[in-house]
């Protein structure tokens, strides 16, 4: 179902993950101007939006950026953390400073990331080697969280693929969900 005022009205948190491109889906549903308006209006009234893209080869950034840019965020064509085989350390992201979202988690695993660019009202939350990896934006009464990787999924949370004692993706996902819900409760 396409985002519209009527179907967003009953929601506190809206999550968009890895928008399809024609490589994934021969008839992708792109973000359109009407969707941007509906979502931006909803966020302005207190909605909480989680945007999780992917690298430019694996998702539609062109249309997705129509939405992200309404909040000062751009998913760039520049990527990083292109992990080869089991070279997991090349996917490490270090959370080195205290921030509003991640209080306990200090290292996570993200691969094939779209590096973010931000301008007001967005701000960088986590950077690595000068690249913005995670960003937030306050927009009206609402909040946006953006990351250039859909990193909250099965093998990266349950220990099947990466060592959870080294990469704290489950801990980070828990902290993120709690933070998103706290933002929603501030309506």
Q: How do the domains of the chain map onto residue ranges?
A: 5-185
pLDDT tens, residue by residue, 103-137: 999 999 999 999 999 999 999 999 999 999 999 99
Beta-carbon contacts of 47 under 8 Å, excluding residues fewer than 6 positions away, are 8, 11, 12, 13, 14, 39, 142, 184
pLDDT tens, residue by residue, 49-107: 999 999 988 899 999 999 999 999 999 999 999 999 999 999 999 998 889 999 999 99
**Higher confidence at residue 80 or residue 154?**
80
Q: What pLDDT is stored for residue 156 in this prediction?
A: 84
- What does the alpha-carbon distance between residue 57 and residue 50 come to, in Å, rounded to a whole number? 21
Question: SS3 sequence, 41-96?
Answer: HHHHCCCEEEEECCCCCCCCHHHHHHHHHHHCEEEEEEEECCCCCCCHHHHEEECC
Contact 149, 135 (CB under 8 A): no
Q: What pLDDT is stored for residue 132 in this prediction?
A: 98
pLDDT tens, residue by residue, 168-177: 999 999 999 9
Token pair 């933070």 in the structure block, residue? 179
Q: What pLDDT is stored for residue 135 in this prediction?
A: 98
Q: Give the pLDDT band of residue 1 (cuts 50, 70, 90).
A: confident
**Higher confidence at residue 132 or residue 161?**
132
Q: What pLDDT is stored for residue 64 in this prediction?
A: 97
pTM for this predicted structure: 0.95
Fold assignment, 5-185: Rossmann fold (3.40.50)
Average pLDDT score over residue span 13-17:
96
Q: What pLDDT is stored for residue 117 in this prediction?
A: 98
Q: What pLDDT is stored for residue 148 in this prediction?
A: 96
């Amino acid at each position: 179902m396409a985002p519209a005022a009527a179907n967003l009205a009953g929601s506190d948190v809206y999550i968009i993950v890895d928008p399809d491109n024609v490589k994934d889906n021969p008839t992708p549903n792109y973000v359109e101007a009407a969707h941007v308006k509906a979502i931006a209006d909803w966020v302005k009234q207190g909605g909480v939006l989680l945007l999780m893209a992917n690298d430019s080869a694996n998702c539609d950034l062109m249309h997705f950026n129509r939405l992200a840019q309404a909040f000062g965020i751009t998913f760039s064509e520049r990527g990083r953390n292109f992990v080869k085989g089991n070279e997991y350390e090349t996917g490490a992201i270090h959370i080195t400073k205290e921030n509003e979202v991640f209080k306990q988690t200090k290292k996570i695993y993200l691969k094939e990331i779209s590096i973010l660019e931000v301008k007001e009202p967005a701000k960088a939350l986590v950077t690595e080697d000068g690249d913005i990896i995670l960003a937030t934006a306050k927009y009206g009464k609402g909040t946006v969280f953006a990351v250039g990787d859909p990193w909250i999924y099965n093998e990266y949370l349950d220990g099947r693929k990466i060592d959870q004692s080294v990469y704290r993706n489950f801990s980070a996902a828990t902290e993120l969900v709690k933070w998103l819900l706290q933002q929603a409760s501030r309506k």
